[in-house]
Structure 1
Amino acid sequence: MFEPILVPESAAIAGWLIALALFIIVEAATVNLVSIWFAVGALAGLITSLFTSDLLYQLLAFALVSAAALAVTKPLVARMRARKPAAVLGLERNIGRRAVVVQPVRPGVPGRVRLDGVDWTAVCDTALEEGGECVVTAVESSTLRVEPAQQPVAAEV
């Protein structure tokens, strides 16, 4: 039926070691899980090559173990990522915060606002006067998009 493809033991071991090293290097060079499953599969191929020189069995071990590693780890990683809240980085942390207008802002004409002692270029769809308060709604490059702050309603006595 099928004639086995026999690979010299030293060549098979060298091939699987090279594949294993490449998969590990690719995995280390990326921030996402990309080839860890194939590295585990290459390790299985390497171990299989110690017992048989038939390339079909080695490739079968590689494919089955890679698929099993993927099937086992993918749901675990998805659950871990779902539990981890998205980090708010950089300027996005200013969204929702209040700032003080230091240079009037007009629709289509940027002004300046002060947030945490730092002056920022700001744009707004409505006019904002100097000294007024505003809320940051978005960050566009190094410009803050703001809107007038809603003043808290005074409690009636």
Structure 2
Amino acid sequence: MFSPILVPEAAAIAGWLIALALFVIVEAATVNLVSIWFAVGALAGLITSLFTNNLLYQLLVFALVSAAALAVTKPLVARMRSRKPAAVLGLERNIGRRAVVVQPVRPGVPGRVRLDGVDWTAVCDTALEEGGECVVTAVESTTLRVEPANQPAAAKV
């Protein structure tokens, strides 16, 4: 059987606070989930240190809680990441809507169209003259892909 490794309460609390802070800093410095599970485990270790000065118990709680947090959240994160990305600023709602050309659009040369009083960069495979109407067929970042209004709008993809 293991003999208990006893640490002073203040030292244990300080150690767990430092570990917790380091895990949180590492997590904040990265874009991916890297150490959040260990931060949760360190918090559990900190709480355990308030009840016992046995370092082995504290480390065991840290390991078990970290593993449980990882096991619970990893599938949730994977499911969230596999979802279709959200619409860019909700601009996809403009697909199928009519706009007015305010700066001529040429194939390969972007122009400008006005939709709901807002000017947008627009691209088209055919020439569009100023004052003409067009229909939004797609949104590519913050650029509207359009076609002349007298042609049927492309189906949403």
Band of TM-score, shorter chain: 0.5 to 0.7
Larger radius of gyration: 1
User: 1:155–1:27: structure 2 CA closer, same or farther, 3 Å change rule?
Assistant: closer
Structure 2 gaps, min length 5:
none
Deviation at 1:98, TM superposition (A): 2.1
Deviation at 1:66, TM superposition (A): 1.0
Deviates most, 143-152 or 38-47: 143-152
Whether the 8 Å CA contact 2:107–2:124 is kept in 1: the answer is: yes
Q: TM-score scaled to structure 2, two decimals?
A: 0.64
Instruction: Report the secondary structure of 1:61's partner residue.
Output: helix
Structure 1 gaps, min length 5:
none
How far apart are the structure 2 equivalents of 1:125 and 1:11? 70
Deviation at 1:90, TM superposition (A): 6.1
Deviation at 1:114, TM superposition (A): 1.9
How far apart are the structure 1 equivalents of 2:105 and 2:121? 9
Deviation at 1:108, TM superposition (A): 2.9
Residues 69-113 of structure 1: per-residue CA shift (max 9 Å, x gap)? 222244456667889983541655544432122343221333332
Q: Percent identity?
A: 93
Q: Summarize the alignment of residues 1-157 of structure 1 with structure 2, pairs less than 5 Å apart.
A: 5-23=5-23, 35-76=35-76, 86-89=86-89, 91=91, 93-139=93-139, 143-149=143-149, 151=151
Deviation at 1:59, TM superposition (A): 1.8
Q: Figure out how many residues of one structure are paired with residues of the other and give that number.
A: 157
